[in-house]
Structure 1
């Protein structure tokens, strides 16, 4: 019997002078081999080895009148993880789609069966339909962005960008929402600061972060958009005076569909930060969040990008 190097590492054993059972200490493998040899046909089975799922396959082999078998082992850990991720993704998508679709259907039924609704009530119901369709549009757009980034179809288009000007564009994009809550958005960045990056991809990422900051900062609060150089990198920040993020949630906020307790009551798809993370990594940088977890102490999201 012979074991290749991966098999020796898996079973922490060399094959010399040992039977399969002695080398592997896995009775199910020995049973599988016996089954294949007795039946004269290949056999396979899934089993646990060292606590990890594996697929074992026995193929019969023989030359010059000698008979033997080849045992192939495939580690299924990653496949199972991907399978769970796919199932979770489908379940989350189904939930996110079901909510606005159900709401639209109920409103449509109400309007159909109550044709004499007064104009104010009709206007209110139509407003809810618009809101729900916007939520569906946001979800489909974010799913498309995520798919393009993860598939590698979205490639950065680099150019020299004036950072202060970019932050001003981001600030203006959320001006109406911020004004509605009397929030103050200030920029701390040198007008001379330049970085070579994809301006559209970075703008969308910063708008995403600022949108969250506006959403979670109470009326009358403040938000800072900052940029500074920490050679050889550019640091960008979106810092708010909002509700903050619990320490345990800091570990998960960049996961797809994850929404902490405050976020659940504020709506959203739970995809924004996952997209931001992928976008920043696509630009060769990294993103992280900081918060003391104390209510009202706010949160800060930082991005580090190479300057050139």
Structure 2
């Protein structure tokens, strides 16, 4: 308000000087006898005195009004300088100060809007930086970390300390990322590559380092690391799947082609050996048919379009039906079957899909059992789920194979599996169908004593 008081003082001094000038002029006129007669002089002096008082009063009021408006402008400007752009300067009635107040208010509104917009953009970028799954960190020209998001903290194992202000090369697992930053800083160009960090074996990262260029010079870089382990594993699985399917198709096709060529070469007329070649073609065609059917089943199960039409299913009766279809195979190997599922035991499941699961497990239990062995199925209720177990007395499975036993085309004994007509997809189909019901699958095995494959299904509500 000091400036307003100063302005008011200046205005008042100006009026006083004007009045003094008028008085001096009036005195000159009186002394020079330009105003005739003493009475006229007295009247002139009185009018002049009143005029001086009026001029002083008008000057005082004008100074007060102008200084107040100017003071409000100064106070408003200080609020704008402090960042309060929501404040508005009271606008005077007229004059240049009114225009100045309106201009300053308009400017404050525009600046406030721009600042709000910039703050919104900042919050959006901050949220993206914080919540992105990719690891993002920013380093200056000397390789010092200035910003790091939670994804990068997790990737680099940051616990118990603040990495901002540290050298990138000093971070856990930061040596590889530091090399990317150095390349980007030195070349001034983006750098991209893939790496497996020593601190996370088996993890594959896609790393991108982009330089930050300001006024033609590189002042830092932004590092973005994305975990592509999943996509890489899927790609590897796809290649393995194509290779396995090709191999599984080629084996029976080669046998069919060989038998067909033999028959065309004259064996067709050979009553002793001809039927054997025809039988082999029929068996290999059946093997191809089984493989294609299993591929269609697992493809549909993995597509996400498959759905379980749940009903209450009598487990003991369904197990008996599944075993009945394997009577000839069990008789051939002299394998006995025990249905130990309690009477009245029911599960919430799709009857057809559960039947497929039981058939696949019982078929494997008989197929890989020893001659004269035993297969039994049992169940128990655990925490709202029914655990169904299919046990055999076969050779068992070595521990190193158990973790991968439900993978597609995985076989413990490849030669024996193909000899017995297996496609390598049965257990994978079992796993997908059980998971479709919200259940789990597993296996327990002791070499030389047999295996027990189990799965869980919910109890009917």
Spell out the pairing of 1:20-59 with structure 2 (5 A cutoff).
20-21=168-169, 24-26=174-176, 27-34=178-185, 37=188, 41-49=189-197, 50=199, 51=201, 52-59=203-210
Q: Residue 92 and residue 169 in structure 1: after superposition, are their counterparts in 2 closer, same or farther (change >3 A)?
A: same
**Whole-Å Cα distance in 1 between the matches of residues 288 and 268 of structure 2?**
29
**Whole-Å Cα distance in 1 between the matches of residues 157 and 373 of structure 2?**
60
**Whole-Å Cα distance in 2 between the matches of residues 172 and 125 of structure 1?**
31
Q: Residue 11 and residue 287 in structure 1: after superposition, are their counterparts in 2 closer, same or farther (change >3 A)?
A: closer
Q: Residue 154 and residue 305 in structure 1: after superposition, are their counterparts in 2 closer, same or farther (change >3 A)?
A: same
TM-aligned CA deviation for residue 55 of structure 1: 1.6
Describe the superposition over 1:152-186 as per-residue Cα deviations: whole angstroms up to 9, x where unpaired. Answer: 11111100111121112101111222223333223
**Whole-Å Cα distance in 2 between the matches of residues 79 and 231 of structure 1?**
36
Residue 141 of structure 1 pairs with residue 293 of structure 2 = yes
Equivalence for 2:236: 84
Partner residue of 1:269 out of 423, 440, 446: 423
Equivalence for 1:233: 385
Q: TM-score with structure 2 length normalisation? A: 0.60
Equivalence for 2:153: 8
Q: Which has the higher strand share?
A: 1
SS at match of 1:2: strand
Greater displacement, 230-239 / 272-281? 230-239
Contact 1:32 1:44 in 2 (8 A): no
Equivalence for 2:347: 195
Q: Residue 17 and residue 195 in structure 1: after superposition, are their counterparts in 2 closer, same or farther (change >3 A)?
A: closer
Equivalence for 1:107: 259
Alignment RMSD, CA only?
2.5
SS at match of 1:55: strand
TM-aligned CA deviation for residue 265 of structure 1: 4.5
Q: Residue 47 and residue 286 in structure 1: after superposition, are their counterparts in 2 closer, same or farther (change >3 A)?
A: closer
Q: TM-score with structure 1 length normalisation? A: 0.87
Partner residue of 1:260 out of 402, 412, 419: 412
Q: Residue 212 and residue 88 in structure 1: after superposition, are their counterparts in 2 closer, same or farther (change >3 A)?
A: same
TM-aligned CA deviation for residue 248 of structure 1: 2.8
Greater displacement, 149-158 / 2-11? 2-11
Q: Which has the higher helix share?
A: 2
Count of aligned positions: 303
Contact 2:300 2:306 in 1 (8 A): yes
**Whole-Å Cα distance in 1 between the matches of residues 402 and 151 of structure 2?**
37
**Whole-Å Cα distance in 1 between the matches of residues 397 and 170 of structure 2?**
53
Equivalence for 2:434: 280
Partner residue of 2:331 out of 146, 155, 179: 179
Equivalence for 1:245: 397
Q: Residue 213 and residue 21 in structure 1: after superposition, are their counterparts in 2 closer, same or farther (change >3 A)?
A: closer
TM-aligned CA deviation for residue 61 of structure 1: 5.6
TM-aligned CA deviation for residue 80 of structure 1: 2.1
Contact 1:21 1:29 in 2 (8 A): no
Equivalence for 1:96: 248
Q: Which runs of 5+ in 2 are unaligned?
A: 1-145
Q: Which runs of 5+ in 1 are unaligned?
A: none
Q: Residue 78 and residue 32 in structure 1: after superposition, are their counterparts in 2 closer, same or farther (change >3 A)?
A: farther
SS at match of 2:457: strand
Structure having the higher Rg: 2
